[in-house]
Amino acid sequence: MTTGEADLMETSSLTLNALVIDDSRAIRRILGSMLVDLGWRTHEAENGRHGLDVLAEAERIDVALVDWNMPEMNGLEFIKAVRADPRWGSLPILMVTSETEFQNMADAMEAGANEYAMKPFDRDVIRDKLSILGF
């Protein structure tokens, strides 16, 4: 076995963890299924506040996929809270939302989102966005 093959085997055996935050159970299930198909392990939260709890309890989260419009704590508030906390300040965040206004996208990126995907999306869009984030 070459060094490159060993590196590939080591990388492919590493399970990445995604946190899906959306108030819609259906969207959480759809995104979760797409991520599992792409080799990820998923965690779910129904709003930003619950997402912060999951981050605090999880051993490791590699990326968060976050909706904008949610009760209790919306996606923008979640991003700001994550970026303000040194434990998670560098967590890659993908905003996945139906908010299509350019200003909303700019606000999310300014708050600290790393990428932005608009609903409706498909598996290829999510895979491509994760690839842009380095996964």
% of the chain exceeding 70 in pLDDT: 90
Tell me: the pLDDT tens digits for 46-56? 999 999 999 99
pLDDT at residue 12 above 60?
A: no
pTM value is 0.87
Q: What is the pLDDT of residue 11?
A: 42
Instruction: Count the neighbouring beta carbons within 10 Å of the beta carbon of residue 85.
Output: 13
Q: What is the mean pLDDT of residues 12-18?
A: 79
Tracing tokens 């609903």 back to the chain, one arrives at: 119
Q: What letter does residue 25 receive in the DSSP assignment?
A: H
Q: What torsion, rounded to 10 degrees, do the Cα atoms 124, 69, 83, 111 define?
A: 90
Q: What letter does residue 119 receive in the DSSP assignment?
A: S
Tell me: the pLDDT tens digits for 99-122? 778 888 899 999 999 999 998 899
Q: Give every CB contact of residue 98 below 8 A, 6+ residues apart in sequence.
A: 68, 69, 118, 119
Q: What letter does residue 14 receive in the DSSP assignment?
A: P
Q: What is the mean pLDDT of residues 42-63?
A: 97
Tell me: the pLDDT tens digits for 30-40? 999 999 999 99
Q: Which phi and psi (to 5°) does residue 73 adopt?
A: -145, 115
